[in-house]
């Protein structure tokens, strides 16, 4: 691997070229193979990273924790309470303090601006573990999974159904545009990504050969898709009051058997998780009691079907996040 990543932040895929994204995916595949073969080394032994979480997480937190341990590093977790950050101390000051103690910083929270300030002032690599706008480490895991299933990214017909202007919709569109995929956002018009981001991605697509399509027609969106992807209808940080409107708008875009049949039997189903596919969660049951629906963005039969690769994706969070830490922290020889 060359050293173009050393010392860099990982805040949005917009900052990385197609070749660089490919390189990170290749590195992730290598680290995955090493782990499976019990042939891991600990190239970052003695380094320290801090994980800042202003929102909940299972996959991202655990992937950073296990990934850092696998690479030989020590980890500090700071949750939504218990530190001074943002309350008695500015993000800029927090960045400068943490940069004196740690070799890398992960941030999950609300504003993209916050992770950018951390990146600008800490002096160490900062990784975006999800903001309201972007979720770039998730895209690496998704793309590694697609490569494992189809052997390539270029030319893959990728359909995202649901809230296409959330962090996942935005980041998947950027990633698909970079990697030369055929991206379809299938959603009500007012839930398409923002026009300025679409324009940026159209420019990127010109260079990569990607196509971007936007439709509110479910059948048209699903037909011939290699990948049907969805995410929650209400993201972390959004107010409870939006549930009713969102359910009304997005129920027609629920990924169910009919959608998967339109896509065809070789299509795979993907979801970044967590997913509302039954009533076996607190929120799932509350939604059932209030709105009478058993599942939201994906039905139980699709989630549990052979076409569903959601747990491969979840595992790949570890290998791809490890690749990002390794690439940005490993000193050039």
- The residues annotated with a catalytic role in the active site are 108, 135, 138, 231, 272, 317
* Piece in contact with ligand CP (CB under 6 A), picked from 40-48, 54-62, 207-215, 321-329: 54-62
Determine the distance from the C-alpha atom of residue 269 to the mean position of all C-alpha atoms in its chain, rounded to a whole number.
15
Give the residue, chosen from 166, 171, 262, 299, that forms a contact with ligand NVA under the rule CB under 6 A: 166
DSSP code, position 10: B
- Using CB under 6 A as the binding rule, whether residue 49 contacts ligand NVA is answered as no
Residues in 111-130 at the binding interface with ligand NVA, rule: CB under 6 A: 130
How far apart CA 114 and CA 112 sit, in angstroms, is: 5
How far apart CA 123 and CA 96 sit, in angstroms, is: 8
How far apart CA 309 and CA 119 sit, in angstroms, is: 33
Residues in 116-135 at the binding interface with ligand CP, rule: CB under 6 A: 130
Contacts of 76 (CB under 8 A, 6+ apart): 48, 49, 50, 51, 102
CA atoms within 13 A on the CB side of 236: 20
Which residues in 187-302 belong to E strands, given as ranges? 211-215, 227-230, 268-271
Residues in 55-84 at the binding interface with ligand CP, rule: CB under 6 A: 57-60
Chosen from ligand NVA, ligand CP, none, partner binding at 144 (C-beta under 5 to 8 Å by type): none
Expressed in percent and rounded to 5, the helix, strand and coil fractions of the chain are: 45, 15, 40
* Piece in contact with ligand CP (CB under 6 A), picked from 52-60, 66-74, 254-262, 297-305: 52-60
Nearer to ligand NVA, 50 or 130 (CB): 130
Nearer to ligand CP, 57 or 184 (CB): 57
Give the largest Cα separation in the chain, rounded.
60
- In whole angstroms, how close is the CB of 63 to ligand CP at the nearest point? 8
Q: Which residue's C-beta sits nearest to ligand NVA?
A: 235
* Piece in contact with ligand NVA (CB under 6 A), picked from 72-80, 143-151, 164-172, 190-198: 164-172
Nearest Cα neighbor of 51 from 37, 38, 40, 62 is: 62
Give the residue, chosen from 94, 122, 138, 328, that forms a contact with ligand CP under the rule CB under 6 A: 138
Q: Using CB under 6 A as the criterion, which residues of the chain lie in contact with ligand CP when the complex forms?
A: 57-60, 130, 138, 272-273
Residues in touch with ligand NVA (CB under 6 A): 130, 166-168, 231-232, 235-236, 272
């Amino acid at each position: 691997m060359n050293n173009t990543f050393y010392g860099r932040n990982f805040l949005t895929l917009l900052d990385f070229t197609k070749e660089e994204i490919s390189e990170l995916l290749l590195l992730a595949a290598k680290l995955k193979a090493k782990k499976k073969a019990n042939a891991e080394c600990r190239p970052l032994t003695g380094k320290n990273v801090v994980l800042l979480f202003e929102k909940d997480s299972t996959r991202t937190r655990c992937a950073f924790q296990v990934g850092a341990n696998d690479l030989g590093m020590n980890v500090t977790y700071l949750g939504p309470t218990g530190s001074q950050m943002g309350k008695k101390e500015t993000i800029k000051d927090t960045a400068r303090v943490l940069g004196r103690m740690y070799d890398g910083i992960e941030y999950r929270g609300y504003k993209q601006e916050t992770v950018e300030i951390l990146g600008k002032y800490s002096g160490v690599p900062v990784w975006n573990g999800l903001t309201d706008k972007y979720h770039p480490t998730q895209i690496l895991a998704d793309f590694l999974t697609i490569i494992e299933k189809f052997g390539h990214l270029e030319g893959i017909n990728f359909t995202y159904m649901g809230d296409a202007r959330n962090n996942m919709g935005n980041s998947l569109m950027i990633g698909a545009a970079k990697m030369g995929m055929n991206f379809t956002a299938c959603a009500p018009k007012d839930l398409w990504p923002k026009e300025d981001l679409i324009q940026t991605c159209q420019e990127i697509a010109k260079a990569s050969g990607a196509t971007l399509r936007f439709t509110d027609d479910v059948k048209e969106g699903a037909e011939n898709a290699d990948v049907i992807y969805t995410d929650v209808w209400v993201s972390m940080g959004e107010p409870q009051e939006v549930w009713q409107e969102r359910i009304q708008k997005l129920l027609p875009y629920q990924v169910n058997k009919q959608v998967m049949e339109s896509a065809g039997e070789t299509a795979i189903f993907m979801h970044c998780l967590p997913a509302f596919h039954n009533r076996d969660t607190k929120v799932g049951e509350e939604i059932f009691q209030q709105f009478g629906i058993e599942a939201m963005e994906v039905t139980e039969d699709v989630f549990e079907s052979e076409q569903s690769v959601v747990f491969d994706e979840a595992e790949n969070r570890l290998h791809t996040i490890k690749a990002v830490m390794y690439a940005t922290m490993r000193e050039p020889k």
